Amino acid sequence: MFSRSFYDHTVLRSYLTNMGSWKTKVPCYFIFGDSLVDNGNNNHLVTLAKAIYLPHGIDFSSGPTGRFCNGRTFADFTAENLGFTSYIPPFASPNGSDILLGLNYASAAAGIRNETGFHLGDRITFDQQLKNHEMTVSSIGDILGGADSASTYLKKCLYHVGFGSNDYLNNYFIPSMYETSNMFTVEEFTKVLIQQYSSQILALYKYGARKVALSGLGPIGCTPYELSRHSSNDLCVEYIDSAVKLFNHNLKLLVDEFNNDTRLQDARFIYLNFYDMSMEVIRQPTSLGTNLLSAHSVAKATGVLDLIPGPVIFKIDMVAHNWVGDSVLGLIRLGVRFIQQVVMLVEPQVPCYFIFGDALVDSGNNNGLVTRAKANYTPYGIDFPQGVTGQLLGFPNFIPPYATVTDEEISTGVNYGSGDSGIREETGSHMGDRFSLSRQLLNHEAIVSRLSRLQRNKTFTNDYLKKCIYNVNIGSDDYINNYLMPNNYNTSKVYTTDQFGEALVQQYSQQLKTLYNLGARKIAVFSLALIGCTPTEIARFDNKGRPCVESINDAIKPFNDRLKPLVDRLNQENVDASFTLINFTNIVPLETVARLPINVPCCQVREDGQCIPNSIPCLVRALSVFYDGLHPSDTGNIAIAARTYKAISPLDASPYDISHLAKL
């Protein structure tokens, strides 16, 4: 398959140099599967199962490639998230030393069983895909100078395996062409499939795989094709759906068995629950009163899609085209959860992540306080879990709140965020207790001391903390719950807006220096969003028909304008540190806000802008920018987190976005 003449030392040195500069989360990514991830391996086979013609690929940059969708597959999106600068090539057309990045062996109509899909023509079964991979492993050994070097290298790679759908759809459930349904009950057939699958996965382990993601079957009995074949008016074809659930149950048990097998302790296997992810999508259209096409059109018309960056993780616009009949809400969940589960197999990009701020990042610190500024009741959390930013950094679990963090958890970071807190101590006092930024810093000092005791080496702790990322997102409440409330606070009587912005930045500067003195060296400082465009502020003030309350946005401008010079000065004064500014007003600019449905929050809100307890939120939550009167919905948070992590404009972050800050 591969010519040894390709692998001269010049090519190898060039490849390894480039690979080091890319800093992908894993050095290589190998894909095994069927048409869900096939990217061209069937193109030259004699088969009906190929997609090298329009309208396939209509939204792909190079047109039809063999992908069974209009654009990119999940494997493509995963490769992007893992940091690869190009898509993983198909086995049928690798390019020399590019095999070190991984290969895609997937073949449409392929299955666990070798006879699966034969009525459609040629296909590359899982057994044959494994043989192809064995050849690749041998070639990688040639490149790297031996089997031992190849083995060490391959252990770091990610392996994604997804089979089984065709063993039912293009085998067991076609009794006129296959004998399996006459030979086995569904239970027996599933047992036979899992036994064979187990042997195949162990063969993959033998070839060096140590990070393996196994996809469960999606609800294939609920696809338009199967529903039309069976003239079903139900949500799904029940007998197919039952078989899928049985297979998935047994696959999950197999994954647990692998992880508990002492002979495989150097490997990690995860189960990707495609069924439950997808069923959330499929169940939405009727209850939402919409389908994907109408929801997607609304999202595009209102500008919601404009918030999501194209190259980062997934783009709702592209994902939406790939799933006919699904809601945007479900697509967001499906894409994010898939990425989250796969990211669990790779190492975090930084050892720890510390978060300071207000309600935008509070994850439960206010729950035990006497305050109205808490969100530990429904409808808050109706679609949790989420946590995009921490997940993008590679952390498998959410960063715990300071209020409940344990000794075992603090080494990965702590969330100190507190609703209604501010830079100034008095901010938010009319709402009740809260942790101001100064108090959050005192809490962090206690955590640093606690961590030093646990690690029993102050020097080690200091070096450890220098590698962490520190997010500081605060200041909105100094306006919303201080300066803009003259009946409760006298700041607007003492300061002009320019003077108040200056006073805030001076105090903020000292607080950021305190954070530096506590060991922080990678610090992301967030500007304020256009808080004059929140539903609560629009309702409180006469915006004269305009999309935002301009006087509020004008009031915060002196503060925002001073942040860039502050960050620049901190970088000049502390050469061993990297401060960066995340520019909210560029990530969600006024021209985009003007087109968004911002004046209607998703939940019913009380006077202070928070959701009324136990109220029923909007159904199409993916199309809501604000969940309550002040805070973004999932859609808004995904957009912000994605562009914070990977800027798509030089003005989004300066001088670094979070992904680059992590690499420093």
Q: What is the pLDDT of residue 278?
A: 72
Q: At what angle do helices 74-81 and 328-343 cross, to 10 degrees?
A: 50
Q: Is the pLDDT of residue 118 over 70?
A: yes
Assigned token pair, 537 = 């502020």
Higher per-residue pLDDT: 314 or 513: 513
| pLDDT band, residue 283 (cuts 50/70/90) | low
Phi then psi for residue 232, to 5 deg, are -90, 135
Q: What is the pLDDT of residue 489?
A: 96
- Reduced to 3 states (helix: H, G, I; strand: E, B; else coil), residue 478 is helix
Q: What is the DSSP letter of 172?
A: I
Closest by CA to 254, choosing from 338, 166, 164, 330, is 164
Q: Is the pLDDT of residue 92 over 90?
A: yes
Higher per-residue pLDDT: 54 or 395: 54
Q: What is the pLDDT of residue 470?
A: 97
Q: What is the pLDDT of residue 310?
A: 31
Q: Is the pLDDT of residue 299 over 50?
A: no
| One-letter amino acid of 56 | H
Q: What is the pLDDT of residue 529?
A: 86
Q: At what angle do helices 147-154 and 126-144 cross, to 10 degrees?
A: 120
State the chain's mean pLDDT as an integer: 81
Q: What is the pLDDT of residue 301?
A: 37
Total count of residues recorded for the chain:
664
Average pLDDT of span 385-402: 58
Overall pTM surpassing 0.75 (yes/no): no
| One-letter amino acid of 391 | Q
Q: Is the pLDDT of residue 424 over 90?
A: yes
What per-residue string of b and e applies to 347-382 under the rule 16 or more CB within 10 Å gives b? ebbbbbbbbbbbbbbbbbbbbebebbbbbeeebbee
| pLDDT band, residue 321 (cuts 50/70/90) | very low
| Strand ranges across the sheet with 158-162 | 29-33, 158-162, 211-215, 268-272
| pLDDT band, residue 37 (cuts 50/70/90) | very high
Q: What is the pLDDT of residue 591?
A: 58
Q: Is the pLDDT of residue 380 over 60?
A: no
Give the tens place of pLDDT for each residue, 227-279.
Answer: 777 766 677 888 999 999 999 999 999 999 999 999 999 999 999 888 877 77
Q: What is the pLDDT of residue 375?
A: 62
% of the chain at pLDDT higher than 70: 78
Distance of alpha carbon 418 from alpha carbon 416, whole angstroms: 6
- Reduced to 3 states (helix: H, G, I; strand: E, B; else coil), residue 624 is coil
Task: Please state which of the ranges 32-46, 225-239, 434-448, 523-537 shows the lowest mean pLDDT.
Answer: 225-239
Distance of alpha carbon 327 from alpha carbon 290, whole angstroms: 8
Average pLDDT of span 388-413: 74
Q: What is the pLDDT of residue 590?
A: 58
Q: What is the DSSP letter of 363?
A: S
Q: What is the pLDDT of residue 266?
A: 93
Give the tens place of pLDDT for each residue, 585-634.
Answer: 887 765 555 555 556 777 788 877 778 888 787 766 666 677 777 777 76
Task: Please state which of the ranges 279-288, 326-335, 545-554 shows the lowest mean pLDDT.
Answer: 326-335
Average pLDDT of span 577-589: 88
What per-residue string of b and e applies to 247-259 under the rule 16 or more CB within 10 Å gives b? bbebbeebbeebe
Phi then psi for residue 67, to 5 deg, are -80, 135
Q: What is the pLDDT of residue 80?
A: 82
Assigned token pair, 315 = 């783009």
| pLDDT band, residue 395 (cuts 50/70/90) | low
Average pLDDT of span 104-109: 96
Query: How many CB atoms neighbour CB 569 within 10 A?
Result: 12
Q: What is the pLDDT of residue 282?
A: 59
Q: What is the pLDDT of residue 461?
A: 92
Distance of alpha carbon 68 from alpha carbon 35, whole angstroms: 6
| Strand ranges across the sheet with 578-582 | 353-357, 469-473, 522-526, 578-582, 653-654
Phi then psi for residue 371, to 5 deg, are -160, 150
Q: Is the pLDDT of residue 533 over 90?
A: no
| pLDDT band, residue 289 (cuts 50/70/90) | very low
Fold of 4-33+72-272: Rossmann fold (3.40.50)
